[in-house]
Amino acid sequence: MTALAAKKNVRELQSSFAMSHEEGAKDNAVIHQGALLVVAADGFIAPATTATGLVGAGVAQESVDNTGGADGAKKIKFRSGIFKFVKDGTATPVQADVGNLAYAVDDQTIANTDGTGTRSKVGSIYRVESDGVWVAIMLPNAADAA
């Protein structure tokens, strides 16, 4: 799949750990509503990409364009919880992956492997369906991010 180019509606399951957040956006980040978000190494929020050192944060509840802005110049509203994403076509999540880690390919696509060390974990695979994969995403504490 490819990264979002416009806002997208993402389905969310009701869960006891779903929470709303508002944090500073990464410098030059363009975040579309519905994007899978990560916490970058410097602590600012960005759209998920194939990269290491990122930690799942949630899903964008609005679109924010911080092009030309410094880290945190704009805030992004997002939610942690359980959300449905697109399954990667190569490292495709399957039923046997339920409970295992979910890895970001881009801001709307989930893989079931780390891509031999090229992808970051963003949550846990909660449910696999023919048209997508449900991922549980919680903002981590410092021990989880290591």
Residue 145 lies in a domain: no
The domain in which residue 79 lies consists of 12-138
What is the 3-state secondary structure of the chain? CCCCCCCCCCCEECCCCCEEEEEEECCCCEECCCCEEEECCCCCEEECCCCCCCEEEEEECCCEECCCCCCCCCEEEEEEEEEEEEECCCCCCCHHHCCCEEEECCCCEEECCCCCCCCCEEEEEEEEECCEEEEEECCCCHHHHC
What is the count of structural domains for the chain? Answer: 1
Residue 91 lies in a domain: yes
pLDDT given at position 88: 97
Residue 2 lies in a domain: no
Tens of pLDDT along the chain (146 residues) come to 688 888 999 999 998 889 999 999 999 999 999 999 999 999 999 999 999 999 999 999 999 999 999 999 999 999 999 999 999 999 999 999 999 999 999 999 999 999 999 999 999 999 999 999 999 998 764 334 43
